[in-house]
Structure 1
């Protein structure tokens, strides 16, 4: 049965995520089908990695292949639940493996499974954890260091299967580190330093379910099942990639690609209309881990007034924006993914589309007038400028929608297009803009502290709204040191409600891509947190 892409009303995205909610039950073989061993899965990927080394390339295309080649200490399943991968148990404060030290530091003890092997047969040990940390933080290799790893003071080797990671201070996102453990022994050659030109980056050795056999740049990659994989050899024999360019032709070309692949990944949601009548396919609209939002620069006098920001929120219909994007972009209400434990569902109750409330808030803020003209205050018209990066078609559509929607409540919105480099390197850091559309990602460097704390306006952090609220400051600082997951969840819930109320930015919709798989491929469950290949070890073909 094809995934429901156009269910009605509130059930739309509940239907889309149904498969994720049933993963645990569905990993068993389907009724009437025995889980078969063997076979080759062909994947068409829109986009290709530049390198195959997680120190240097963390693009979505690379992450999909890293799930095949590498293993991590901890992984997140499609419900954002933490699962042990290379370790025997997920460290937490409750089981005593995460501890606060008297000097204010935090330590996390990782206990590796016994008998772990790299693809080439070398033992995987705690020394490899030390090496992974070192290359992510060595200024001769990577500067600035990979976010999160710079929080570590020391990786202490207890024995070959145990390491204690010492953090300078409490670090709540410790479980996001060491997602791709690297092999120390692969970089001992005296002829090659760990750098972007190292041969390893084109033919890496890992410990994941599949080993890279061949990579022909711009064309294909072949990966064979790893007989040494710690969960047991995958059911498939091989995975073959065909790389396609991410251009306009890819939208329609997906129709022919489907003839020669079990999986299509990274497609534009515009390809849906070309694939919806293929009965052999299951289609999935999945989050790409990004959230598109409208940013208010609070240095602007009108936007510094929360009543005006509320008016803009009430005048904006997120459902209408979703419809502009074929109805396949889920409306967003928070800076957290909807299926994450960090998400507060109460944020969905703030600022629904209500033009009457928009007019009321503008009136209360002193902006007088009616819908037939531009409102004014003290002789000044309510004119705002939305600055957009050229080349982003979705943002251009949203900009045109906002112009009309806000005009209906007496606001004159002008759209200014600039080169992406100008927006991100000049205007955002200096605050030389009024409104813009931006993208939140799940990058470990985008912490709530750097995004919302009043001290984190550029260049210190990512608070481009120049937002300041003492309660938000307290919570984001507390999150910096919260280790207990239940305490983190409580703080994230409070923060979500406060940010939704204060409106430094208005979340609009979740970024999405279209994935397709043949129904003959089982246990394929796209995962917004780790990518669609996260559980490839359990895939099987009829």
Structure 2
């Protein structure tokens, strides 16, 4: 299907000769999934059925308290430092982007007046700029108006290397100009097919210039608003005890009519996924629990209590294992796992290949995750047109042993393989969570049968996913040999998701370990393909380039995908919530209500 054919279908849709459903079906037949098909309609200013939650309350307030559980407790409330999903969810309560992603992958305006398109003058013909018009009348929680100056400042703040923002990848290569008080123009250095990255979704939350201006750059960690946010969102900040509890009150001057429904908001952090699921599904103590990473059989038993329901949304998230090709046990210039070092054993491709063969993905899916994930060998799994058809997984202890034998790794008297005085002994870490500990045990058992010894390390989730620069146990530090966690694809396009496979995103001391490339591995071919994809306007060619980036890292056995994750949450039966697999859970929190 070429672009001319697609435009013909779009025109037929506009003129009523084709239904939206038929358009989506025809696009799917050519390998273009619903999220991207919906985005094409947005680009062409085609009216779409509202895929967000239908809001029924006729007035704001009156809903009483809303109680959420994040078993990985938030530790900060600055969205541009939020490397963990828990902090992104908490930040989104108070801050909003220009637009967010609904459950069908549609781009929905939030602080923007409308989604830019060619027909409304928002998108340039050559793909080098996008113009956003802000929604008039939006106020910060302190009463000051939201203006284009705040949007321009957010770009300056996140793009400044000295700020060391986690979101810098979305901003460092663009320019943003103020057109008038309610209009900004984003200028790209080259044709940019996926323009909905800066100011959109997880990376796009706008921060107030008047609260952060003196803290841009080297003083960024000193801003009081990092822990006491002043945003535009549906709830105002009331109290925050990092690692414990977050409280908010209804924003009485919220910019959406009759929203929000709830009068107060409580976000409780800590505990574990099972207790969080139980508190919603069985006891009804809480209204909503995020990321119920629990064995499916346990969830089914808890659901019989009748107080809550489990909701699973398609997503691009992936549970995977990273193998460290740098040395986590040697310190160079004040940091371990420095790119100036090589791992003494995992730098051997044969060792990495063997470990990949020792992951029993099918059993992990069948006996642990159930509805929560599907076994995969690909880092990118959704939308389908971006998934590699070449990557396959296999579980074979016999083949793993053969690979290691041929590479010269011999078993010693203790049964552990070694070569040149170096043993295949590794520390394997993940967050404390029952399914993950079971996966660790499965992998450890298989590795033992191949002469590889794994020391299992489990880190409290709030520590593992912390953005604390002084914490040695964060996943971004990777101060061990291998680790496992889920990473979130923040929008239905994998470009930004895959920038964690580029050399310029390597996590290190200089960027306060907030670079998105935690593996520290890089490949010039991956960098080249990624840069080419950023300016390729042909959808098929661009998809092929992004698939190549994915394949390079997976075929190198540095990134070992385990499961394509769905986003599974627990909610009270009385709660109407807007759960999207393409954005954080609180992306449309203002529209939640109790029926």
TM-score normalised over the length of structure 1: 0.71
Q: Which deviations, in whole Å up to 9, do the C-alpha atoms of 1:35-93 show, x marking residues without a partner?
A: 66552352232355444333455643443343333321121222444333333444478
- Please say if residues 380 and 387 of structure 2, whose CA atoms lie closer than 8 Å, have aligned partners that are also in contact: no
Q: Which residue of 1 is the match for residue 15 of structure 2?
A: none
Q: Which residue of 2 is the match for residue 159 of structure 1?
A: 180
Gaps of at least 5 residues in structure 1 are: 1-20
Cα distance change, pair 252–184 in 1 and its aligned pair in 2 (3 A): closer
- Please say if residues 81 and 166 of structure 2, whose CA atoms lie closer than 8 Å, have aligned partners that are also in contact: no
- Please say if residues 530 and 549 of structure 2, whose CA atoms lie closer than 8 Å, have aligned partners that are also in contact: yes
SS at match of 1:503: coil
Match of 1:353 among 395, 417, 433: 395
SS at match of 2:452: strand
1:43 and 2:53 matched: no
How far, CA to CA, are the matches of 1:245 and 1:414 in structure 2? 31
Cα distance change, pair 454–28 in 1 and its aligned pair in 2 (3 A): closer
- Please say if residues 71 and 86 of structure 1, whose CA atoms lie closer than 8 Å, have aligned partners that are also in contact: yes
Q: How does 1:468-487 map onto structure 2 within 5 Å?
A: 468=523, 471-482=525-536
- Please say if residues 289 and 441 of structure 1, whose CA atoms lie closer than 8 Å, have aligned partners that are also in contact: yes
Q: Which residue of 1 is the match for residue 5 of structure 2?
A: none
SS at match of 2:586: coil
Q: Which residue of 1 is the match for residue 152 of structure 2?
A: 130
How far, CA to CA, are the matches of 1:73 and 1:324 in structure 2? 41
Q: Which deviations, in whole Å up to 9, do the C-alpha atoms of 1:81-118 show, x marking residues without a partner?
A: 433333344447898755699xxx95432233444444
Q: Which deviations, in whole Å up to 9, do the C-alpha atoms of 1:172-191 show, x marking residues without a partner?
A: 7653322211233556999x
- Please say if residues 221 and 240 of structure 1, whose CA atoms lie closer than 8 Å, have aligned partners that are also in contact: yes
How far, CA to CA, are the matches of 2:423 and 2:211 in structure 1? 60
TM-score normalised over the length of structure 2: 0.65
Match of 2:586 among 518, 530, 533: 533
How far, CA to CA, are the matches of 2:420 and 2:81 in structure 1? 50
- Please say if residues 222 and 240 of structure 1, whose CA atoms lie closer than 8 Å, have aligned partners that are also in contact: yes
Q: Which residue of 2 is the match for residue 492 of structure 1?
A: 546
- Please say if residues 156 and 163 of structure 1, whose CA atoms lie closer than 8 Å, have aligned partners that are also in contact: yes
Q: Which residue of 1 is the match for residue 310 of structure 2?
A: 283
1:504 and 2:558 matched: yes
How far, CA to CA, are the matches of 2:158 and 2:428 in structure 1? 34
Q: Which residue of 2 is the match for residue 221 of structure 1?
A: 247
Cα distance change, pair 355–153 in 1 and its aligned pair in 2 (3 A): closer
How far, CA to CA, are the matches of 2:275 and 2:569 in structure 1? 13
How far, CA to CA, are the matches of 2:226 and 2:417 in structure 1? 59
How far, CA to CA, are the matches of 1:380 and 1:496 in structure 2? 33
- Please say if residues 282 and 302 of structure 2, whose CA atoms lie closer than 8 Å, have aligned partners that are also in contact: no
- Please say if residues 157 and 163 of structure 1, whose CA atoms lie closer than 8 Å, have aligned partners that are also in contact: yes
How far, CA to CA, are the matches of 2:476 and 2:572 in structure 1? 46
Cα distance change, pair 310–92 in 1 and its aligned pair in 2 (3 A): farther
How far, CA to CA, are the matches of 1:111 and 1:147 in structure 2? 23
Q: How many residues align?
A: 498
Deviates more, 1:349-358 or 1:444-453: 444-453
How far, CA to CA, are the matches of 1:507 and 1:540 in structure 2? 37
Q: Which residue of 1 is the match for residue 455 of structure 2?
A: 416
Match of 1:320 among 343, 363, 368: 363
Q: How does 1:193-232 map onto structure 2 within 5 Å?
A: 200-201=225-226, 204-208=229-233, 210-212=234-236, 214-215=238-239, 217=241, 218-219=244-245, 221-224=247-250, 226-230=252-256, 232=257
Cα distance change, pair 79–274 in 1 and its aligned pair in 2 (3 A): same
How far, CA to CA, are the matches of 1:472 and 1:139 in structure 2? 23
Q: Which residue of 1 is the match for residue 271 of structure 2?
A: 246
How far, CA to CA, are the matches of 1:426 and 1:62 in structure 2? 15
How far, CA to CA, are the matches of 1:503 and 1:96 in structure 2? 45
How far, CA to CA, are the matches of 2:212 and 2:83 in structure 1? 20
Q: Which residue of 2 is the match for residue 437 of structure 1?
A: 483
1:85 and 2:110 matched: yes
Q: Which residue of 1 is the match for residue 209 of structure 2?
A: 184
Cα distance change, pair 490–353 in 1 and its aligned pair in 2 (3 A): same
What's the CA shift for 1:127?
A: 1.6
Cα distance change, pair 389–66 in 1 and its aligned pair in 2 (3 A): closer
Q: How does 1:369-380 map onto structure 2 within 5 Å?
A: none
Match of 2:427 among 387, 408, 428: 387
Cα distance change, pair 399–385 in 1 and its aligned pair in 2 (3 A): farther
Root-mean-square deviation (CA), in Å? 5.1
What's the CA shift for 1:330?
A: 1.8
- Please say if residues 261 and 592 of structure 2, whose CA atoms lie closer than 8 Å, have aligned partners that are also in contact: yes
What's the CA shift for 1:344?
A: 0.2
How far, CA to CA, are the matches of 1:199 and 1:150 in structure 2? 23
SS at match of 1:72: coil
How far, CA to CA, are the matches of 1:427 and 1:52 in structure 2? 21
SS at match of 1:279: coil
Cα distance change, pair 257–50 in 1 and its aligned pair in 2 (3 A): farther
